[in-house]
Amino acid sequence: MEQKCLECNDAVKGRIDKKFCNDYCRNAYNNRLNKDGKNLIRNINNRLRKNWRILENLNVHQKTKTIKAKLLEKGFDFTYFTSIYTTKAGSTYFYVYDQGYLLLENDYCLLVKRDS
C-alpha cells in the first residue's frame, strides 16, 4: 500500500513510517495544526520576554531595590510571571524565569536573581 503525504496527498517515498513527502509539507501541516493558540502564546511569550529584559536591565548587582513606578515606566506588566516563591517568613517573590521581584512597602520592589 502506497503512503500519502498528510499535507498534499502526494506519494511518500522512503521509510515505511514516513508521513510527509518533504520538509515544506511537514512544516505547513504542523503550522496549520498549531495556528489556533499560536497568537496567544506568542503574545504571552513577548510580554514575559519584555518583563525579563526590564528586570535584567534594572538588576545589575543581582539584588537591587527600586520603586514600582520605575518598572511601570519601562512597561513592566505585573500580571505576567513564570513562578512564585514564598519564603518561610511569608514573603512572596514573583519570578520571570531567573529574574524576580518582591513587592515591599511604600511602592518599593526588591529585584533579585535566582541562582542556577
Mean per-residue pLDDT of the chain: 94
Q: Which helix (H) or strand (E) holds 20?
A: none
Nearest in space to 15 (alpha carbons), one of 27, 25, 3, 32: 3
Residue carrying the nine cell digits 500519502: 4
Residue 18: left if φ>0, alpha if ψ -120 to 50, beta else—which one?
Answer: beta
Per-residue pLDDT, 92: 97
pLDDT tens digits for range 77-112: 999 999 999 999 999 999 999 999 999 999 999 999
Q: What is the DSSP letter of 22?
A: S
Instruction: Tell me how far apart the alpha carbons of residues 66 and 90 are, in angstroms, rounded to a whole number.
Output: 21
pTM assigned to the model: 0.72
